Amino acid sequence: MDNRKYSMIREALEKSHYTVAFCGTGMMKESGMPSMRDPEIAYEVEKKYGYSPEEIFTSAFYATRTETFFDYYRNEMLGKPLEPSKAFYALAELERRGKLQYCVTNNVYNLPGRAGCQNVMNLHGIVEENKCPRCGREYSLDYIITSRRTPLCESCMSPVRPQVLLFGEMVDNQRMTRAVQQIEKAEVLLVLGTTLNSGLCEGYLDYFQGSTLILINSTEHFLDEKADIVLHEEVKEALPAIVCPQ
């Protein structure tokens, strides 16, 4: 615990009139999300399904091997319910106080929203949104989870499509534009659980013209020096202590 930096971050947040948080993969891992790129997980997936996660979680696989796609999706991505860590509830508290205006995340489980944040941009979509690609009929997450095989549209019998970004797909332009607009407004940018060159941050940080870039991440990286305040701690421990000190 670095009390000096905690105080610096508190002061920056208190003075800011517009703060945006970028919630990275590290925050999701702290909430219990397994990484599809973890070698051990990838090996187990390939042994179980005959394909790697990078092969299965693609639009081509969804279109050509739909049943296997949904077996993997239900069992490996939806099988273990994730709960937001304390860090997400700390973000919701900041928003409630008027000290956080927007969250941007590339996570598909909508953990900031489930913790209570109202203004969230899920760049990669969320698992709760599912739609028939042919007729546009929408379906709940429960419909996907409880389907015995491929979840089919009850109107036209086409496979329902989860509205999440698959490997190889591009982020929707409208979502990218909205994220850029938010970062351009920010006086303070919180980068949480990721590095400054990650897929979440790449291409966005160039638009930040505010006063203070704050990085909280458990691992060190050579680009950390570009941030104004750097804290190498787990976000789930540091952020709650900063927002709600004992």
| Residues annotated catalytic, as ranges | 124
Rounded distance between C-alpha atoms, residue 180 and residue 86, angstroms: 27
Query: How distant is the alpha carbon of residue 235 from its chain centre?
Result: 14
Q: Which of 124, 199, 194, 206 is nearest to 166 (CA)?
A: 124
**Rounded-to-10 torsion of CA 121, 185, 89, 224:** 100
3-state helix, strand, coil in the chain (%, to 5): 40, 15, 40
